[in-house]
């Protein structure tokens, strides 16, 4: 029995999801003729109170298209130094849109409205890149699935309105935040100009993300998706998985959160762990004590058929998801409790 905690992207479709995919009615989406993807796009747009949505093969492409929509070459976006759009999208903001990133030194991947205000460039100064976009990530991946305070997001929204800035949410794990904080999708739909949402993480789909926004934004997004090679044909098979996930896999995210919290308490109790970051959702970030080699720690678990991510400098990550059973959690706890280091 392998326990794969590398990421929530490792999930495989359930039998019920596969059945929904096999029975999907499909057409050619490039001709806007796939009824199932049209249904998915309409469903999630309505859920968040947005005018429209567009299916993408990846969250990275959805984020990159959002940046393209809101900026012009030579401009600048504001994001946290730990943000996905800066660290894990291959320099796409500069490559695709010709924009730079003004990095905020936030707390656990999150920043304040005051920090945004401090980092907006002076448009009258020809030496500075014009700030045109603010990007936040909820949950914050590198911070261990931390959730933003929605009231702080409202304050940032007000700053954006006052200064004519667009506001984009990288909501790859947004449903984890909604479940953890008992919040409603429409709260976020009202705050952001565009939102990207990943279907292939906690929601358990094999592939796919969605970008939500106004009809005007999504019309632009359709063109940019085509330019980036994202035009797809019978994607109703994938969209059917998304519809199934939205109907069946949101509330169950709370189980992943409980599992992460439970295992984090075990990690706090053993003598070889130095620190465990606060756990709000499905991700645990923790640190081994200085005398333990983190690569050795990962290998020790791998011998037990447990896969986790080493992030360097003693920092490690576990991510819980729908393919982690109760039996797996019990074995993981047993292994962690018995590990010994000299």
pLDDT at 1: 87
pLDDT at 311: 85
Residue 43's nearest CA partner among 302, 292, 244 is: 244
pLDDT at 128: 95
Distance CA 271, CA 329 (A): 20
pLDDT tens for 121-180 read 998 999 999 999 999 999 999 999 999 999 999 999 999 999 999 999 999 999 999 999
Distance CA 112, CA 99 (A): 22
Distance CA 17, CA 55 (A): 18
pLDDT at 314: 78
pLDDT at 342: 67
Secondary structure string (H, E, C) spanning the chain: CCEECCCHHHCCCCHHHHHHHHCCCCCCHHHCCCHHHHHHHHHHHHHHCCCEEEEECCHHHHHHHHHHHHCCCCCEEEEECCCHHHHCCCCHHHHHHCCEEEEECCECCECCHHHHHHHCCCCCCCCCCCEEEEEEECCEHHHCCECCCHHHHHHHHHHHHHHCCEEEEEECCHHHHHHHHCCCHHHHHHHCCEEEEECCCCCCCCCCEEEEECHHHHHHHHHHHHHCCCCCCCCHHHHHHHHHHHHHCCCCHHHHHHHHHHHHHHHHHCCCEEEECCCCCCEEEEEECCCCCHHHHHHHHHHCCEECEECCCCEEEEECCCCCCHHHHHHHHHHHHHCCCC
59-70 and 215-227 helices, crossing angle to 10°? 120
Distance CA 53, CA 219 (A): 9
Low-confidence ranges of the chain (pLDDT < 70): 342
Q: Which domains does the chain have, with CATH numbers?
A: 13-248 (3.40.640.10), 252-338 (3.90.1150.10)
Distance CA 196, CA 210 (A): 6
Beta bridge partners of 135: 168
Q: 286, 270 in Cβ contact below 8 A?
A: no
Cβ-Cβ contacts under 8 Å for 59 (sequence gap 6 or more):
84, 170, 172, 196, 197, 198, 209
Cis peptide before 199 (omega within 30 of 0): no
CA dihedral angle for residue 172, residue 175, residue 176, residue 178, rounded to 10 degrees: 130
The reported pTM is 0.96
Burial level of 121, CB count in 10 A (0-12/13-18/19+)? middle
Distance CA 148, CA 50 (A): 21
């Amino acid at each position: 029995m392998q326990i794969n905690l590398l990421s929530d992207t490792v999930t495989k479709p359930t039998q019920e999801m596969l059945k929904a995919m096999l029975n999907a009615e499909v057409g050619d989406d490039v001709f806007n003729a796939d009824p199932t993807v049209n249904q998915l796009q309409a469903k999630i747009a309505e859920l968040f109170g947005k005018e429209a949505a567009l299916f993408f093969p990846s969250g990275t492409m959805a984020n990159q298209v959002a940046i393209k929509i809101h900026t012009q070459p030579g401009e600048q976006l504001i994001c946290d130094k730990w943000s996905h759009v800066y660290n894990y999208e291959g320099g796409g903001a500069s490559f695709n849109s010709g924009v730079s990133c003004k990095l905020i030194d936030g707390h656990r991947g999150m920043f304040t409205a005051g920090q945004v205000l401090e980092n907006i460039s002076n448009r009258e100064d020809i030496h500075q890149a014009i700030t045109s976009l603010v990007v936040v990530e909820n949950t914050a991946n590198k911070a261990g699935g931390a959730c933003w305070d929605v009231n702080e997001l409202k304050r940032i929204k007000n700053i954006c309105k006052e200064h004519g800035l667009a506001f984009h949410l990288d909501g790859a794990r947004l449903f984890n935040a909604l479940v953890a904080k008992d919040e409603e999708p429409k709260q976020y739909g009202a705050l952001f100009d565009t939102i990207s949402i990943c279907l292939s993480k906690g929601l358990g789909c094999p592939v796919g993300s969605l970008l939500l926004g106004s009809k005007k934004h999504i019309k632009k997004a359709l063109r940019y998706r085509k330019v980036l090679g994202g035009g797809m044909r019978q994607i109703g098979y994938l969209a059917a998985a998304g519809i199934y996930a939205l109907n069946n896999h949101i509330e169950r995210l709370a189980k992943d959160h409980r599992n992460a919290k439970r295992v984090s308490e075990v990690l706090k109790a053993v003598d070889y762990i130095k620190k465990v970051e606060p756990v709000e959702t499905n991700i645990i970030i923790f640190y081994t004590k200085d005398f333990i080699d983190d690569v050795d720690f990962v290998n020790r678990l791998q011998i037990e058929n447990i896969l986790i991510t080493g992030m360097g400098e003693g920092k490690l990550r576990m991510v819980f998801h729908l393919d982690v059973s109760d039996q797996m959690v019990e074995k993981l706890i047993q292994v962690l409790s018995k590990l010994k280091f000299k």
